[in-house]
Amino acid sequence: MYSPEPSDTEDDKVPQQRPISPYLDESQKPPIYITSPSKIHRIRCRRGYYATVMSVISPSEIYVRIVNHITETHLLIPNPSKKTQKLAEDISVGTYVMTPYNESFYGRARILKIRKTGVILRFLDFGILAFRKANELFFMEEKFKHFPWQTIKVALHNLSPVDPEVGWSSEEVQILREITNEYSLFWVKPQLSGSDPGNDDFYPISVELNGVNPEDTVVAGTTISGDELGDSITDRYNMCIGKFAADQHEDAEEQKFYPCQIEEYDFTDDPLSRLPDKRVV
């Protein structure tokens, strides 16, 4: 074991071999969480809330945004002059940058993949994927790191692909997108779990999702809970593919997350609609 006390001799500075763990396999490592002060945290909701769907990657990866978000008021900056804006020095996977969201504003984004002529990134507050050239990636001031992602990554609870071994097909993804496009507002109900997710934001939150009519959410001037409102997106999806009952998982931890068969990144939601060079550095 490593000694927590400072060593007085050179021999003491050589760490001894750790004993084999009785609980972990030799190849198994405990999770390493990002603890840097510069990490931009995410919103972790434990109760139902109203939101809009910003981006649908698959039923296992949907980005929703809370209705009382602060994107426009705090997290966008007018398109500045490139002469006054400081270019990002660190262009690597996981880095936060400011970059054009549309022709008028810059938004917060995180780099996901490096390409020959630029990077693929995700906008933190819109949930969409985009491609931006290296000269469009700018330094993010510290004040923009104090606010959490305004989008939340969720997955539909009790839903699985027609072929779980293959994952979500492009047809299944398109069906879900068409259904969610019919609604402007959703009630998102996180599912309970007996385990603590800790600080791991890699996995989406398993939720029930209901498409609701905004007019039904207000009674006597007060916004009401949406637990009993709207249409179940899971039920509508199952009807479209000919499945008559949802999967039955009591605990959210039992919900599996499946990959998507679509390998290419989808940039259709990007307001600037820029396509990358496909050669990877």
Q: What tens digit of pLDDT does each residue of 170-208 get? A: 999 999 999 999 999 999 999 877 665 555 566 899 999
Residues 6+ apart with CB under 8 A from 182: 211
Residues 6+ apart with CB under 8 A from 21: none
Query: In the prediction, which pLDDT does 253 show?
Result: 77
Give span(s): CATH 2.40.50.90, the chain. 49-69+150-254
Using one digit for the tens of pLDDT, what is the confidence trace for 16-55? 454 544 444 455 555 555 566 678 999 888 889 999 999 9
Residues 6+ apart with CB under 8 A from 249: 157, 158, 255
Q: With b meaning 16 or more CB within 10 Å and e meaning fewer, what string describes 8-21? A: eeeeeeeeeeeeee
Helix, strand, or coil (residue 32): coil
Using one digit for the tens of pLDDT, what is the confidence trace for 107-138? 999 999 998 889 999 999 999 999 999 999 99
Residue 256, burial from CB neighbour count under 10 angstroms (0-12, 13-18, 19+) = middle
Query: In the prediction, which pLDDT does 217 show?
Result: 86
Give span(s): CATH 2.30.30.140, the chain. 71-145
Kindly give the residue spans of alpha helices, DSSP state H, lying in the chain: 170-180, 233-241
Query: In the prediction, which pLDDT does 32 show?
Result: 53
Nearest Cα neighbor of 206 from 196, 191, 187 is: 191
Helices then strands, each counted (H, E), the chain: 2, 13
pLDDT tier, 81 (very low <50, low <70, confident <90, very high otherwise): low
Using one digit for the tens of pLDDT, what is the confidence trace for 224-270? 888 888 999 999 999 998 876 667 777 777 788 888 876 567 787 88
pLDDT tier, 79 (very low <50, low <70, confident <90, very high otherwise): confident
Q: For residue 111, which phi and psi values (nearest 5 degrees)?
A: -75, 130
Question: Which CATH number fits the domain 49-69+150-254, given the four candidates 3.40.640.10, 2.40.50.90, 3.40.50.261, 2.40.160.10?
Answer: 2.40.50.90
pTM of the model: 0.81
Residue 56, burial from CB neighbour count under 10 angstroms (0-12, 13-18, 19+) = buried
- In CATH, the architecture of 71-145 is Roll (2.30)
Give the pairing type, strands 96-100 and 129-133.
Answer: unpaired
Tokens of 191: 């599912």
